[in-house]
Amino acid sequence: MLDQLSGDSHIEVITTLPNRYSSFNREALELESHPKLTVNRISLSTHNSGMLDQSRAFLGYAAEVVRLSKGKDYDLVFATSSRLMTAILGAYVSKRRKSKLYLDIRDIFVDTIRDVLPKKARWFISPVFSILEGWVIRSAVGINLVSAGFLPYFRERYSKKKFFIFTNGIDDEFIGHQASENLISKSNLLNIVYAGNIGEGQGLHSIIPELARRFSDRMHFKIIGDGGRRSQLASAVKSLGCSNVEILPPVNRNELIEIYQKADVLFLHLNDYAAFRKVLPSKIFEYGALGKPIWAGVAGYAAEFIKENLNNSAVFMPCDVEEAHKSFDNLELATRPRDDFVEKFSRAKIMKNLAANIISFADKDDCTI
């Protein structure tokens, strides 16, 4: 975005220090100042991905955002939100500063809580967040959706709003590490790799233990990450006596790429919730860039996207062990570069177009974002 700004324009980023997992931290500066960019990183309380932990961490973040933005003269506030509260915070800041609001929506929070929360909690919480969602969406001058699967939901409720689709993309690090074409040996245990969050949304505890048991003489599962369901996954694996599952802590990106390159098959899974039939996991893009076979338990738009854009992939219904078992035979055990996919979904290209879209709403030569 910086190279697209003109005049005395300036961007202030208010984000957090790396904090996704209590078991994995990376060092970063709390304050960075550049000619057209200022980055403030807020330190959050340690959390273990539980709802109370995350709520406490968000409240601390929100208080700091309000403090740091006090008295600032923004032309546009950009808020990227996988959970609705970040979008609400962005809308609140834009109202206080009398500026425009541009939203980047990465999840439908109201849909997700209807699936995840107990019925009694949904009865109270869902209507409240539906009202807040409406306020946020109507406050925005521009709205990007990272998944085309979100469009029907938003168009039905907010027909007067114009929505844009700029998806996630492939980072340069993954583009620069595409594997060369080669066949995978069937004589050894196949190395099946999953890397990412291990939470309720991924539902690994509902699929990995039984798959590992069925493929005990054929596959070794390497699960890398952390999250609220990690201990449940480990317990389920242990209860079935599976010795072919390895659960490892999160690693940095360079280590992760090395692990991907040594994998025979990359595994992806979302839990069997209606809300997840609209999403497009960012994991698809880094997996797709590496040319490895992809074994994915997803439904809805994500399944359609994989079938349309990623050759040598096998899709099965989430949490369906029988279908997962059968679908594996559709994979060709070979690494083959996906050059067309990489060209189409380069993050640099997608983000350049998104940045131009955001700046167009600021509508000033000397804007502050």
Q: Token pair for residue 299?
A: 């439904």
Q: Token pair for residue 241?
A: 């006596």
pTM for the model: 0.87
Q: What mean pLDDT is reported for the chain?
A: 90
pLDDT reported for residue 153: 93
Report yes or no on 291 lying in a domain: yes
Tokens 């854009």 sit at which residue?
309
Give pLDDT tens digits for 328-341.
999 999 999 999 99
Give pLDDT tens digits for 82-103.
778 999 999 999 999 999 999 9
54 φ/ψ angles, rounded to the nearest 5 degrees: -70, -35
Q: Are 205 and 225 in contact (CB under 8 A)?
A: no
The 3 state secondary structure assigned to 163-225 is EEECCCCECHHHHCCCCCCEECCCCCCEEEEEECCCCCCCCHHHCHHHHHHHCCCCEEEEEEC
Give pLDDT tens digits for 21-66.
555 555 678 889 888 899 999 988 665 556 777 888 889 999 999 9
**Total domains present in the chain:** 2
Report yes or no on 147 lying in a domain: yes
pLDDT reported for residue 113: 79
Report yes or no on 369 lying in a domain: no
Whether the predicted pLDDT of 318 surpasses 90: yes
Residue 218 one-letter amino acid: R
Q: Are 369 and 358 in contact (CB under 8 A)?
A: yes
Q: Clarify whether residues 189 and 244 are in a common domain.
A: yes
Kind of pairing between the strands at 245-248 and 142-145: unpaired
Q: Clarify whether residues 134 and 221 are in a common domain.
A: no
Q: Which residues of 225-252 are buried (b: 16+ CB within 10 A; e: fewer)?
A: bbbbbbebbbebbeeeebebbebeebee
Whether the predicted pLDDT of 250 surpasses 80: yes
Whether the predicted pLDDT of 20 surpasses 90: no
Neighbours of 22 (CB within 10 A): 13
pLDDT reported for residue 118: 72
Q: Clarify whether residues 44 and 96 are in a common domain.
A: yes
Q: Clarify whether residues 299 and 161 are in a common domain.
A: no
Give pLDDT tens digits for 163-181.
999 999 999 888 877 777 8
Q: Clarify whether residues 231 and 211 are in a common domain.
A: yes
Percent of the chain with pLDDT over 90: 69
Q: Clarify whether residues 9 and 157 are in a common domain.
A: yes
Q: Clarify whether residues 150 and 223 are in a common domain.
A: no
Q: Clarify whether residues 177 and 158 are in a common domain.
A: no
Whether the predicted pLDDT of 225 surpasses 90: yes
Q: Clarify whether residues 176 and 322 are in a common domain.
A: yes
Distance CA 186, CA 245 (A): 19
Q: Clarify whether residues 110 and 80 are in a common domain.
A: yes
pLDDT category of residue 283 using cuts at 50, 70 and 90:
very high
Enumerate residues 6+ apart whose C-beta is below 8 A from 144: 102, 103, 104, 105, 163, 164, 165, 166, 354, 357
Whether the predicted pLDDT of 353 surpasses 80: yes
Give pLDDT tens digits for 98-127.
999 999 999 888 888 777 777 777 777 888
pLDDT reported for residue 76: 95
pLDDT reported for residue 49: 56
pLDDT category of residue 231 using cuts at 50, 70 and 90:
very high
Give pLDDT tens digits for 177-219.
777 788 877 768 999 999 999 999 999 999 999 999 999 999 9
pLDDT reported for residue 119: 74
Report yes or no on 356 lying in a domain: yes
Report yes or no on 368 lying in a domain: no
Q: Clarify whether residues 74 and 182 are in a common domain.
A: no
pLDDT reported for residue 147: 95
Report yes or no on 367 lying in a domain: no
Domain span holding position 336: 172-344
Whether the predicted pLDDT of 131 surpasses 80: yes
